[in-house]
């Protein structure tokens, strides 16, 4: 068995960002127009009026202050409230692959080795822009990597599931190094007309290179253990898929509007998710540490999925047995928002400094499924 190491990471951040104030202005403008258009039905008591959002509400509910997106203009257009991402021909690189390649190039540069040493590519993300061919194979071709590639989707837990899969490939000797990428265009499946969720997501891509310890250079992170868990729940769901077209009205225009088909985009029962996921994840982290003979209160840093600041703070408190400091429990969702599978990797990529050899930290993700994954790391000398 070959031990696995996280050797390098990469991050692609779009150059456009939307503040809470900008998002709220667009949403409230849409609300005013919707209420005016349905004034008679509202007055008759047939439907409830839409209510305004606010920056204070968003920050209190989530800790989010802004989010990076691929297209700001389309999202902030009250008549559209959807990013404008032009269709590309089959001869052009796809949007998700392009993002993944940019993150991967940064990771490869930090790694300092030729791509010929990579034997597999995994694209692990919450929403692929097509069913096939696999996004991972397109990334593989764009980077000139040999071996094999495939996609996997475990929603917000995709990155930790991807790291676990890559580590297992390395351990079995199937390949000496794996590139795992997480391109997330969350703005394209978010309903910007839903007050309870219009602020949650942002766009980004991350990349991780996992390689065998016996070929790794100095530095990097030993993977001491990985653990995965799933439990079915409808509390977070996205029903969009190719079967939808078989039961839609034939005269429905494209693109599919959000009103009346909201479950074809991101939907969640936020309070239910909070109550069920926090104890599930906290217990999983503590149990995994015990299996590895580690006291979880000694973790120097937690790189949790960036879902919601209240969830992250409570999980951190339960794991460390006290209120964690900002240095111990990394929060980046104030700037990036929820970026699904990429969130915990962004936190790790941006905030892994200050470790001595032997210091331990934890990457953890959790999300729809329910799904959760833990990756326990030790700083190498």
Which positions are catalytic?
156
Alpha carbons 154 and 126: distance in angstroms, whole number: 6
From residue 172, how far is each of 93, 115, 163, 312, 378 by CA, in Å? 32, 20, 14, 34, 21
Tokens at residue 244, please? Answer: 């939808």
231 Cβ contact list (under 8 Å, min separation 6): 280, 369, 370, 371
| Nearest residue to 225 via CA among 8, 380, 374, 343 | 374
* 223 φ/ψ angles, rounded to the nearest 5 degrees: -90, 105
Alpha carbons 103 and 98: distance in angstroms, whole number: 9
What does the H/E/C string look like for 282-317?
HHHHHHHHHHCCCCHHHCCEEEECCCCHHHHHHHHH
CB atoms within 10 A of CB 147: 17
């Amino acid at each position: 068995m070959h031990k696995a190491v996280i050797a390098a990471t990469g991050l692609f951040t779009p150059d456009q960002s939307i503040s809470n104030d900008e998002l709220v202005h667009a949403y409230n403008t849409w609300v005013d127009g919707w209420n005016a258009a349905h004034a008679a039905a509202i007055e008759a008591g047939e439907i409830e009026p839409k209510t305004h959002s606010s920056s204070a509400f968003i920050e209190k509910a989530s800790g989010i202050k802004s989010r990076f997106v691929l297209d700001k203009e389309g999202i902030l257009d009250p008549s559209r409230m959807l990013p404008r991402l032009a269709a590309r021909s089959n001869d052009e690189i796809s949007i998700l692959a392009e993002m993944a390649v940019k993150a991967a190039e940064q990771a490869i540069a930090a790694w300092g080795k030729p791509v010929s040493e990579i034997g597999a590519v995994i694209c692990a993300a919450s929403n692929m822009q097509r069913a096939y061919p696999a996004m991972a194979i397109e990334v593989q071709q764009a980077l000139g990597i040999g071996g094999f590639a495939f996609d996997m989707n475990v929603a917000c837990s995709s990155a930790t599931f991807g790291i676990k899969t890559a580590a297992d490939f390395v351990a079995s000797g199937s390949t000496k190094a794996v590139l795992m990428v997480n391109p997330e265009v969350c703005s394209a499946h978010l309903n910007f007309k839903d007050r309870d969720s219009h602020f949650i997501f942002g766009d980004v891509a991350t990349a991780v290179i996992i390689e065998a310890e016996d070929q790794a250079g100095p530095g990097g992170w030993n993977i001491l253990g990985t653990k995965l868990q799933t439990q079915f729940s409808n509390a977070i769901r996205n029903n969009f898929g190719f079967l939808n077209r078989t039961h839609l009205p034939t005269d429905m225009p494209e693109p599919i509007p959000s009103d009346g088909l909201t479950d074809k985009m991101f939907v969640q029962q936020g309070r239910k998710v909070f109550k069920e996921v926090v104890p599930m994840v906290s217990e999983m982290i503590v149990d995994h540490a015990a299996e590895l003979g580690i006291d979880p209160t000694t973790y120097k840093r937690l790189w949790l999925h960036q879902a919601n600041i209240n969830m992250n703070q409570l999980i951190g408190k339960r794991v460390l047995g006290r209120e964690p400091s900002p240095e111990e429990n990394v929060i980046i969702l104030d700037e990036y928002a929820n970026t699904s599978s990429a969130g915990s990797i962004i936190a790790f990529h941006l905030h892994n400094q200050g470790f001595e050899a032997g210091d331990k930290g934890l990457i953890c993700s959790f999300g729809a499924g329910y799904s959760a994954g833990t990756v326990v790391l030790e700083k190498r000398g």
